[in-house]
Amino acid sequence: MSALELADWRPVGGGSICRVWRADTVDGRAVIVKKAPYDVAVEADGLAALAHAGAPVPGVLAAEGDRLVLEAVGGPPDWDALGEAVAHTHAVTASAYGWHRDNLIGELVQPNAWHADWPAFFYAQRIAPFLDAPGLPGDLRTRLQRAGSGPLARLLPARPPASLIHGDLWAGNVVEGRWLIDPAVNHADRELELAFAALFGGLPPAFWQAYERVWPLPAGWRERRPALQLYHLLVHVAHFGSGWAGGVADRLDALGW
């Protein structure tokens, strides 16, 4: 990072995983420096993919080992523009579900092996890896395994568009109501992204209205949403323990699984 000749480092809040500073370059540009407990190449890779798709993300100035330097971004909130941008990003599709590498969701490995079938990908890469989480009760593990043996394939479409998604879209990963940070990118059914975005208080109505103007959700999304929310709830169980298992049980109950 010394090649950038950064000065005037000031610590800023960076959540529970990374240490974060704001600093200045010698030519007066403000930057954000993150020190992470992982190789930041995976995060830089995701930001580059989103930027290539036209999503509003901070530029990557340097990525080396555990240090990531990003341009500092700001401006007035523009949830309308963000909703449109996310919809356009979702319009960037692949021929299968997954990503060219495993990456991270929080501090956890997010497996991304390619699958041609969406329900198969969702169970194998988004549910099964978390079934051994210490905070997940055995009865919920059994119910999830049973869901993977048939109910998921009957509920979820086999081949929806394999959209490029941010992967961890919630209000905490939106800066100033207009910039996306901390991605966990992959190609997936866009409904997975939006199901998580609706959790934890969701995003403002302007975001949803703008998204729907660009690409309305298909019929049946309300029925599928509880199943898709299982993934991020399992991630929270794995991260934070059994206190999040109730959310998993609630979704399984709502689905009758």
Q: Which CATH class is domain 79-255?
A: alpha beta
Q: Answer for the pair 130, 136: CB distance below 8 angstroms, yes or no.
A: yes
The catalytically annotated residue of 45, 80, 168, 182 is 168
Q: Show the beta-strand stretches assigned E in the chain.
A: 7-12, 19-24, 30-35, 60-64, 67-71, 93-94, 103-105, 108-110, 162-165, 174-175, 179-180, 186-188
pLDDT digits (tens, 9 = 90+) for 40-86: 999 999 999 999 999 999 999 999 999 999 999 999 999 999 999 99
Rounded to whole angstroms, the Cα distance separating 155 from 153 reads 6
User: What is the pTM (predicted TM-score) of this model?
Assistant: 0.95
**Would residue 80 show up in a list of annotated catalytic residues for this protein?**
no
Residue ranges of the chain that CATH labels 3.90.1200.10: 79-255
All CATH 3.30.200.20 domain ranges in the chain, comma separated: 2-71
pLDDT in tens, 180-195: 999 999 999 999 999 9
- What does the alpha-carbon distance between residue 257 and residue 255 come to, in Å, rounded to a whole number? 5
What span, in angstroms and rounded, lies between the C-alpha atoms of 20 and 37? 12
Residue that is written with structure tokens 């998921």 in the block: 152
Could you give the C-alpha distances from 68 to 33, 55, 172, 182, in angstroms and in order? 6, 19, 19, 11
- CATH 3.40.50.300 assigned to domain 2-71? The reply is no
